[in-house]
Chain A
Amino acid sequence: MSRGEDTLTLTFPPVPAYVGTARLFVGAVARQYGVDEERVDDLKVAVSEACTSAIRLRGDGEDPVEVVVTTDQASLSVEIPASVEQESDLTEASTTGDLVRSLGMELIRALFPEARTIDGQPAPSISFSLPLS
């Protein structure tokens, strides 16, 4: 596997059936770059959460969801535009729906503490990465 700078993009309609496809996509790229299985699992969780958020944000809209994986010699990064819902406080989640939305971001941040949101329209993106050994 070359270790040049590569960018791979998956674009899919905002329907729940494709969240699993996004996980497989990112998981496959990560394995090609030698990421260990536990971190592949972590990536899949983060991708699933971000795509779930992106689909929910679109509501009945049809704007596609884009998952961008960028690799270089040192790291593998995932960016999912328009995928960050308004945050709510986990401790104040009053409904199961609130709890799920809070848990999604909690999970991403717990698995990838360096995860960051990037301002953008119509909504921010989320980006997370891991080092390649």
Chain B
Amino acid sequence: MAGEVDLFTSPKVKERILDLLGGGATKLVIDLEHVTFMDSTGLGVLVGALRRLTERGGALALVCPQGPVLRVMEVTGLKKVFDIHDSLDTVVP
């Protein structure tokens, strides 16, 4: 993903995730390295994805290096909820 995730763009992100889940995906890695902004609407989409994946015994990993997106996760406490990695290279499949 790249760009800003807010009230305007988060529905597109949600739709893409639901497409992947509808296609049977159980393990998702979402790369947020190039996301320059995210507010609670984006966080909500990620939490929704995590809930759906957990319900089906799957897993969600996020790639989210230091920056504004990681900061909102820290501030909300969601950093502890998600499986967050510094780079794609460190994501264990």
Q: Are B44 and A96 in contact (CB under 8 A)?
A: yes
State how many angstroms separate the Cβ of B51 from the closest Cβ of chain A: 7
Residue numbers of B with Cβ under 8 A of A are: 4, 6-8, 37, 39-41, 43-45, 47-48, 51, 68, 71-72, 75-76
Q: Which of B8, B39, B45 has the most CB of A within 10 A?
A: B39
A74 interface contact, C-beta 8 A: no
- List B contacts of A45 (CB < 8 A): 37, 39, 68, 72
Interface on chain B toward A: helix, strand, loop, or mixed SS?
helix
The answer for the CA separation of A21 and B8 in the assembled complex, in Å, is: 11
Q: Are B51 and A96 in contact (CB under 8 A)?
A: yes
Listed A/B pairs (24) with beta-carbon separation below 8 Å: A16-B6, A16-B7, A16-B8, A19-B6, A19-B7, A19-B8, A20-B6, A38-B71, A41-B68, A45-B68, A48-B6, A48-B39, A49-B40, A51-B7, A52-B6, A52-B39, A97-B44, A100-B41, A100-B44, A103-B43, A103-B44, A103-B76, A110-B76, A111-B75
Produce 1/0 per residue, A68-93, CB < 8 A to B: 00000000000000000000000000
The answer for the CA separation of A42 and B8 in the assembled complex, in Å, is: 19
The answer for the CA separation of A60 and B80 in the assembled complex, in Å, is: 37
Q: Are A106 and B76 in contact (CB under 8 A)?
A: yes
Chain A residues numbered 25-58 whose CB sits less than 8 Å from any CB in chain B: 38, 41-42, 44-45, 48-49, 51-52, 55
Q: Are B6 and A100 in contact (CB under 8 A)?
A: no
Residue numbers of A with Cβ under 8 A of B are: 16-17, 19-20, 23, 38, 41-42, 44-45, 48-49, 51-52, 55, 96-97, 99-101, 103-104, 106-107, 110-111
Q: Are B72 and A55 in contact (CB under 8 A)?
A: no
- List B contacts of A49 (CB < 8 A): 39-40
A97 nearest in chain B by CB position = B44
Q: Are B40 and A44 in contact (CB under 8 A)?
A: no
Other-chain residue from B39, B48, B75 in contact with A96 (beta carbon distance below 8 A): B48
The answer for the CA separation of A17 and B10 in the assembled complex, in Å, is: 11
The answer for the CA separation of A50 and B41 in the assembled complex, in Å, is: 12
